[in-house]
Chains A and B, each alone.
Chain A
């Protein structure tokens, strides 16, 4: 009498296990294509062990990055201020939030973020880690001004997202942590390393005389001395991702890094941005005060302002700077523009 019952029980178990297996979807590891110069010159990018890149995670992150559901009134997406055609910035001094309010910081461009080794993000370094960074703008009242619970509810009620989260993270139950994990995965794929200067370093092209002299100005401690903070041929990030007071003001309305650390010695310090893609990222500085590259170069050449926390790397501050010749200024600009990466801004993987 017992045997048929046992057979039925075994059959039931097998059927149950089999259908359960069908539900488990294994995401495909994402192959991050790292430029040869980065592989050769830099240490490995930062990919958190609890948020490895997958095809499904990156695709989901991209969809979320361009989705206006992440804003309070469904009018703004991350891409509204971080436009891929503008190296993921918006060419505005300050960006308007969903209610038309403006902040006091210029939207930062987004690329090569996985090589920010200290993992401090934003102009003032207030966010630690890309996942953490992605949390803040969504709920910031002068940015996307959304309630995370409501954002999650909107996504959960959509016809597409629960399946996409299931495929990317093994659960269709959406929460803010998974949303930011997906966005961070997409952001880590935003790699810019294919400018004319990169090709020059790879021996694939040559520089004009102006670009070569401009590079020399950049690397010359007696002239531009830009390399101590903005990378070099050996640091193709073209930034140190550190915080410096670059002599913009004598007193500070915006304390920058100092407001984050609480250390007055950090007042007036802001992150050195990469000098890649400057052709697309005007206006410049944390507050977008300079509309053109000429203004930026003139600042470093003649416009330095002394303050207690000005970086010692700023030269001849009492004279406003090192006073580059008009030729050197012109050539420096030519070199900077040789770091323009049109492949990056036109990469179809990064468009909506």
Chain B
């Protein structure tokens, strides 16, 4: 009897050495305006000032990231900041190792299949077929103080850019982009902050003039390309615990 118990104990030790320890990593998307943290409670107030000097508010902020490198296979995640939904992504069963952390903002052309994702359809995140179909990458709505000092709406909606100069021959440009946040070491259960600085959408390299570019931006080929350029500096790695 004693022998049997000893034998079992030995087996458990072997299991321990054969299978490496696994950890959970949580990605937390946080939102900022030049260092000032933004929560849904900060919405609806003209409390932010963009690079062009326009005061603005945030009323709706929803966006899409895909193919997070820590997750095997194709994946996408819908973030709704106003509803505090999708801002945390838990990735289980990562082993003790170094990982390159990256993701794509929006969908690549390959993944941007019209009508293919039920949760995004249900969230009314589709793009009209006349603009190439697929999905929004971001829906950022709010109000800005216009040149007449009145609050006017803006819709900073980012999609795959489409040139409709010739309606019979639409030309597309992939405006999704890869975000590389460097290497992280997973040696324990880890929380990783990914920061989105909203001010950068209006700043670098294109100083955004909301009095000129405020709405009907989805069919605006040049505006979409500018959004993509400004997006390059929007994300950064925050605190890693």
Chain A interface residues toward B at CB < 8 A: 40-43, 115, 117, 216, 219-222, 225, 227-229, 231-235, 237, 240, 265, 308-315, 317-318
Contact = CB atoms under 8 A, between A and B. Distances in A.
A193 to B, nearest CB: 14
B114 interface: yes
Contact of B153 (A216, A222, A234, A317): A317
A103 B119 CA distance: 36
B124 A233 contact: no
A235 B154 CA distance: 24
A318 B130 contact: no
Interface string B139-174: 101110000001111110100000000000000000
Contact of A42 (B118, B130, B216): B118
Contact of A43 (B60, B118, B153): B118
Interface of B: 43-44, 59-60, 114-115, 118-119, 121-124, 126, 128-130, 139, 141-143, 150-155, 157, 215-216, 218-219
A215 B191 CA distance: 46
A74 B195 CA distance: 60
Contacts of B59: 311-312
A312 B60 contact: yes
B152 A317 contact: yes
Nearest to A232: B126
B155 A235 contact: no
A312 B122 CA distance: 21
B129 A219 contact: yes
A192 B122 CA distance: 16
12 contacts: A40-B115, A117-B122, A219-B129, A220-B130, A227-B126, A234-B115, A235-B121, A235-B122, A312-B153, A315-B216, A317-B152, A317-B153
Given A42-B118, A313-B153, A318-B152, A222 B130 contact: no
Contacts of A115: 122
Q: Which 4 A-B pairs have the closest CB atoms?
A: A312-B153, A219-B128, A265-B44, A234-B126
Given A219-B130, A311-B153, A317-B152, 13 more contacts: A41-B115, A41-B118, A117-B122, A221-B157, A222-B216, A235-B122, A265-B43, A312-B141, A312-B142, A313-B153, A313-B155, A315-B215, A318-B150
